[in-house]
């Protein structure tokens, strides 16, 4: 699935599923900055809640909905209402820790871009499809 504008894209791929969780691969290209990471664990119950909240957000277009990885800080995706009624902001972060020698080096991409609300229906459908694949 993809969330995108002309210059920005977040790609989410389902990699493997389990009873209580599943793993995704994420690639972010936001305003010229690029990051990707495979095998991000997502709690299945939390994902169900996120999709329900996203459907409600689509109707009201107020507040925000957040999807977090099981490992704190590894991945977060938030969709929130922007100042104008016809725009929402997609924002979040993707982290990767690289271990070299005796050091842990944290690399982080924080991203944010606006999406027209006309695309919300497709975004909801794509998340629902991801959910139905793993059910």
Task: Tell me the pLDDT tens digit for each residue of 45-57.
Answer: 999 999 999 999 9
Give the number of domains in the chain: 1
- Nearest CA to 35 among 23, 45, 25? 25
Q: Mean pLDDT, to the nearest integer, of 78-106?
A: 90
Question: Which element (helix H / strand E) includes 47?
Answer: helix 44-60
The enclosing domain of 79 has a CATH number of 2.30.31
Q: Say which residue, 134 or 92, is predicted with more confidence.
A: 92
Quote the CA–CA distance of 21 and 91 in Å, as a whole number.
23
Q: Which long-range contacts (CB under 8 A, 24 or more apart) does 2-5 make?
A: 2/126, 3/90, 3/115, 3/119, 3/123, 3/126, 5/113, 5/114, 5/115
Q: What does the pLDDT read at residue 134?
A: 45
Residue-wise pLDDT tens digits, 59-75: 998 999 999 999 999 99
pLDDT at 132 over 90: no
Range of the domain at 125: 2-134
């Amino acid at each position: 699935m993809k969330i995108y504008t002309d210059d920005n894209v977040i790609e989410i791929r389902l990699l493997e599923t389990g009873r209580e969780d599943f793993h995704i691969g994420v690639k972010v290209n936001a305003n010229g900055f690029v990051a990707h990471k495979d095998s991000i664990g997502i709690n299945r119950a939390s994902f169900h809640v996120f999709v329900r909240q996203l459907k409600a957000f689509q109707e009201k277009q107020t507040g925000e909905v957040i999807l977090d990885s099981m490992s704190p800080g590894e991945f977060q995706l938030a969709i929130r209402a922007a100042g104008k009624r016809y725009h929402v902001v997609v924002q979040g972060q993707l982290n990767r820790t690289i271990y070299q020698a005796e050091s842990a080096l944290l690399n982080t991409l924080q991203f944010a871009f606006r999406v027209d609300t006309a695309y919300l229906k497709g975004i909801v459908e794509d998340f629902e499809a991801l959910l139905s694949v793993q059910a």
